[in-house]
């Protein structure tokens, strides 16, 4: 049996990019997805589709902040990404160089708006989904 404490420590030490790569790898190899619980609405019994359509749509509570374009102040954008994500310099640079890229995932509306404002202040183009 695996040493669960060591596994926990190893996972806790992952950077944001490494965690995203792990998620993708697990999805590919195990055929699972790391979807939000709201996505479970698609697993309703047959015939439940009409009732689901009549139900009111829940307001979105989690948002992703996506860096679409770096803009002219790349170094300043890297600094903001580091501030928002606690990534190291190299990891933040890789995220910025890889634009479009997800900066924050499943954050509150307030956090996403704040991050967008900070990034746009430095000339970046940001989208919230």
- Considering the four listed CATH numbers 3.30.1390.10, 2.60.120.10, 3.30.70.100, 3.20.20.80, the one that applies to the domain covering 63-128 is 3.30.1390.10
What band does 65 get if pLDDT is binned at 50, 70 and 90?
confident
Instruction: Note the pTM of the prediction, 2 decimals.
Output: 0.52
Stretch(es) of the chain classified as CATH 3.30.1390.10: 63-128
Q: pLDDT digits over 81-120, tens only? A: 888 888 888 888 888 888 788 888 888 888 888 888 888 8
| Four-CA torsion 109, 68, 72, 78, nearest 10 degrees | 60
pLDDT for residue 106? 82
């Amino acid at each position: 049996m695996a040493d669960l404490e060591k596994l926990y420590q190893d996972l806790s030490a992952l950077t944001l990019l490494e965690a995203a790569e792990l998620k993708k790898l697990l999805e590919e190899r195990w055929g699972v997805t790391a979807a939000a619980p709201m996505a479970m609405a698609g697993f309703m019994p047959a015939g439940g589709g009409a009732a689901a359509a009549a139900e009111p749509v829940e307001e979105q509570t989690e948002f992703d902040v996506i860096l679409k374009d770096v803009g002219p102040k790349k170094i300043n954008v890297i600094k903001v990404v580091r501030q928002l994500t606690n990534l190291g310099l190299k990891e933040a640079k890789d995220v910025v160089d890889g634009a479009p890229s997800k900066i924050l995932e499943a954050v509150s509306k307030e956090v996403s708006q704040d991050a967008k404002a900070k990034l746009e202040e430095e000339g970046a183009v940001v989208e919230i989904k």
